[in-house]
Amino acid sequence: SKKAFIFDLDGVVVDTAKFHFVAWQKLAAELGIAFAEAENEQLKGVSRVRSLEKILEWGNKSIDQETFDRKLIQKNEEYLEMVETLTQDDILPGVHEFLLRLRESEQPIALGSASKNARPILKKLGIHDLFDAIVDGTDVSKAKPDPEVFLNACELLNMPAANAIVFEDSIAGIQAANNAGMISIGLGEAQNLSEADEVFESFLDMPQDYQQQLLNKTK
Ligand code: G6P
Ligand code: MG
């Protein structure tokens, strides 16, 4: 049978989560706000604007709109400088092979990301054309954990939500998948992603027979 395979981008397909972390940490430091792994975990899957709002909330700080906008532009410029260094080697282990296997068996594939930089990043990595549909931060109005991004992806693939499998590294993204009634598979540390239906450290840890079982799995 066919499933809709929906992939998050940052931290699932490509190792850009570390770049977001570096850029947010620098911005927080400039504002005198503490920012470590635990805070970063809360920002995964969260839009650029909402991320800065959260950092300000944590630091109990407010800044005027002009400064807010300038900080975000600066953050994105620093992030994109790091993105410039990306090569195919930064595709996370096992992802490329998995995508190719899915294509071979003609399974519908989509990207479901909060990032506004998703399309250029996929092009840079040379894997843009492996996706049948792309829904990113430029297409949606409601952020994860709202299911909009994944529901849109299903619609573009012409598949029902109940037949979708979502791969996510963020808490917000796992919640979005669950809210959509989709199977949620976490990539990362099990303790962070306890709400996922299943968690693997990486695609390399996902057994071949599990991949096969996914085709028949229901929520
Ligand atoms: C993803 C990342 C977040 C990032 C968001 C927006 O969800 O996990 O860390 O803030 O996309 O990305 P952008 O590239 O638009 O700043
Ligand atoms: Mg992610």
Is 8 known to be catalytic? Answer: yes
Task: Read off the pLDDT of residues 85-111 as tens digits, 9 standing for 90 and up.
Answer: 999 999 999 999 999 999 999 999 999
pLDDT band at residue 212, thresholds of 50, 70 and 90?
A: confident
User: Which of the pair, 196 or 214, is modelled with greater confidence?
Assistant: 196
Is 129 known to be catalytic? Answer: no
Would you call the peptide bond into 147 cis, given omega within 30 degrees of 0 as the criterion? no
Provide mean pLDDT across the span 137-148. 95
**Euclidean distance between CA atoms 117 and 132, whole angstroms:** 18
Using DSSP's 3-state secondary structure scheme, residue 93 falls into coil
pLDDT of residue 24: 98
Q: Which residues of 47-77 are buried (b: 16+ CB within 10 A; e: fewer)?
A: bbeebbeebbeeeeeeeeeeeeeebeeebee
Instruction: Determine the distance separating the centroid of ligand 2 and the alpha carbon of 218, expressed in angstroms.
Output: 23
Please provide the average confidence, as pLDDT, over all residues in the chain: 96
Q: State yes or no: ipTM above 0.95.
A: yes
**Euclidean distance between CA atoms 135 and 115, whole angstroms:** 9
pTM for this model (two decimals): 0.95
Work out which ligand 1 atom sits closest to the CA atom of 9: 1
Instruction: Determine the distance separating the centroid of ligand 1 and the alpha carbon of 120, expressed in angstroms.
Output: 13
Task: Read off the pLDDT of residues 5-49 as tens digits, 9 standing for 90 and up.
Answer: 999 999 999 999 999 999 999 999 999 999 999 999 999 999 999
The C-alpha angle 34, 37, 41, rounded to 5 degrees, equals 110
Q: Please list the residues that pair with 164 across neighbouring strands.
A: 4
pLDDT band at residue 217, thresholds of 50, 70 and 90?
A: confident
Would you state the structure tokens that stand for residue 10, as one six-digit string? 């940052």
The dihedral sign for the CA sequence 176, 120, 204, 105? positive
CB within 6 Å of ligand 1 — which residues? 10-11, 20, 43-48, 51, 76, 113-117, 137, 170
pLDDT band at residue 219, thresholds of 50, 70 and 90?
A: confident
Q: Is residue 1's pLDDT more than 90?
A: no
Task: Read off the pLDDT of residues 155-168 as tens digits, 9 standing for 90 and up.
Answer: 999 999 999 999 99
Task: Read off the pLDDT of residues 40-58 as tens digits, 9 standing for 90 and up.
Answer: 999 999 999 999 999 999 9
pLDDT of residue 52: 98
Q: DSSP label at 198?
A: E
